[in-house]
């Protein structure tokens, strides 16, 4: 009887230990997931190395926070209310373009900053405005301007209220009250057309980053595919592709853009397509070298002996090894793509006039040296954006380096 009791006690202890080990393994597996994706032990080490690089990790956090906020730019800076209640009806002007006839007007598009429309909404309901009540193309019609030392009213561009102590020009009390409201203030001043600089900065940041991300993704897909084909097959394929790349890369991109801008109005997708024609060549050499090195590995020869297709071997077995070197270049390519759009906008060959752009804001700063807030805002915004991307790229490079360790 005592022997059976001891055997049962031992079995209970073993089952408890097994259950505890099972729970611990589940917790360990759960802790090795990021955003629902399970990481391999190698990628876990890389992620730990990336987080250990504090400068790169916090740069990634800061970049993602700012980028996600700019994705909702219409809710941060807009000349339309986010939500309005008018005569008992709930309206969403930020999402739907309501005609002015809905508020007793006659125009096809409602100007919610019109004093008549504002009074009509306040009398028959209420509205919630974005923190910045200007869009990237809104002109501050309520700004009375400032007087210079000679007593003359200055035109646009105008500084922010906290940038100057100059007295305001004479205006109606209602106009002064609207101008001095917190949501109507131009916190970074206005440009030479009376548009809010902070609103254009928010929208321009979003356009620049989205352009850079799309150009980086598409050019990487084309470049990786071309490099993979060359490196895997080698021989005459490499010779033919290399001669083509030498000819293609010698075409001056700027001249092509000038020709296109003289025929077509440059737009977001037009610029993306033109730059994609030339940007994909920069990753070909890296991927080709990785495939040339890896195609003679034993496991690749075994895969060929088992009868696997060339496409399966290239993109399932060789590509993961080649992507380590490729991923190192992606943050730097992203910063280069953003710089390319900024340079084109600065030269007047980029987005159409009036579009929000960091390069256009930089060009305004150059053309209006008497308004230093324009150039300073554009310079520090571009410098901060590119610095964050460079820090992220350095952290990714160190995280993928097997010789790099952190304590």
pLDDT one-digit tens code per residue, 249-293: 888 888 888 888 778 777 899 889 889 988 888 888 888 888 888
Percent of the chain scoring above 90 in pLDDT: 31
Q: Is the pLDDT of residue 6 over 80?
A: no
Residues in the chain: 407
Residue with more model confidence, 317 or 201:
201
Q: What is the C-alpha to C-alpha distance for residues 164 and 139, in angstroms, rounded to an integer?
A: 20
Tokens of 80: 């339309």
Work out the average pLDDT over 209-238: 91
Tokens of 230: 């060359």
Helix axes 319-347, 197-233, angle to 10 degrees: 140
**3-class DSSP state of 327:** helix
Tokens of 347: 């030269």
Q: Determine the pLDDT at residue 406.
A: 54
Q: Determine the pLDDT at residue 36.
A: 52
- Answer for the pair 326, 226: CB distance below 8 angstroms, yes or no: no
Q: If pLDDT is split at 50, 70 and 90, which confidence band does 15 have?
A: very low
Q: What is the C-alpha to C-alpha distance for residues 74 and 68, in angstroms, rounded to an integer?
A: 12
Average pLDDT, the chain: 84
Helix axes 372-400, 197-233, angle to 10 degrees: 30
């Amino acid at each position: 009887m005592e022997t059976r009791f001891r055997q049962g006690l031992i079995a209970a202890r073993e089952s408890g230990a097994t259950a505890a080990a099972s729970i611990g393994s589940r917790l360990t597996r759960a802790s090795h997931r990021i955003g629902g994706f399970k990481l391999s032990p190698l990628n876990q080490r890389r992620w730990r190395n990336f987080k250990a690089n504090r400068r790169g990790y916090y740069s990634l956090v800061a970049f993602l926070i700012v980028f996600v906020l700019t994705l909702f730019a219409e809710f941060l800076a807009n000349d339309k209310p986010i939500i309005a209640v008018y005569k008992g009806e709930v309206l969403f002007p930020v999402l739907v373009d309501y005609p002015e006839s809905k508020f007793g007007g006659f125009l096809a598009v409602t100007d919610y900053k019109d004093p008549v429309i504002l009074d009509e909404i306040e009398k028959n309901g209420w509205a919630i405005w974005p923190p910045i009540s200007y869009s990237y193309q809104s002109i501050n019609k309520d700004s009375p301007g400032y007087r210079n030392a000679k007593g003359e009213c200055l035109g646009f561009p105008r500084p922010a209220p906290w940038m100057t102590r100059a007295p305001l020009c004479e205006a109606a009390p209602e106009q002064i009250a609207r101008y001095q409201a917190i949501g109507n203030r131009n916190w970074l001043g206005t440009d030479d057309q009376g548009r809010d600089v902070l609103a254009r900065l928010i929208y321009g940041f979003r356009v620049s980053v989205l352009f850079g991300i799309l150009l980086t993704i598409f050019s990487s897909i084309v470049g990786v595919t071309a490099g993979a084909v060359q490196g895997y097959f080698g021989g005459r394929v490499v010779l033919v592709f290399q001669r083509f790349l030498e000819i293609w890369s010698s075409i001056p991109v700027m001249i092509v853009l000038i020709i296109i801008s003289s025929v077509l109005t440059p737009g977001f997708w037009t610029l993306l397509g033109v730059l994609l024609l030339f940007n994909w060549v920069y990753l070909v050499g890296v991927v080709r070298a990785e495939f040339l090195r890896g195609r003679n590995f034993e496991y690749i020869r075994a895969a060929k002996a088992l009868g696997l297709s060339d496409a399966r071997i290239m993109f399932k077995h060789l590509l993961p090894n080649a992507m380590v070197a490729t991923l190192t270049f992606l943050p730097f390519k992203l910063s280069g793509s953003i710089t390319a759009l900024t340079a084109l906008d600065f030269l007047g060959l980029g987005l159409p006039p009036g579009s929000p752009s960091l390069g256009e804001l930089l060009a305004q700063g150059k053309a209006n040296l008497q308004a230093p807030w324009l150039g300073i805002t554009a310079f520090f915004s571009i410098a901060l954006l590119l610095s964050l991307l460079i820090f992220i790229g350095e952290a990714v490079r160190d995280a993928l380096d097997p010789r790099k360790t952190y304590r």
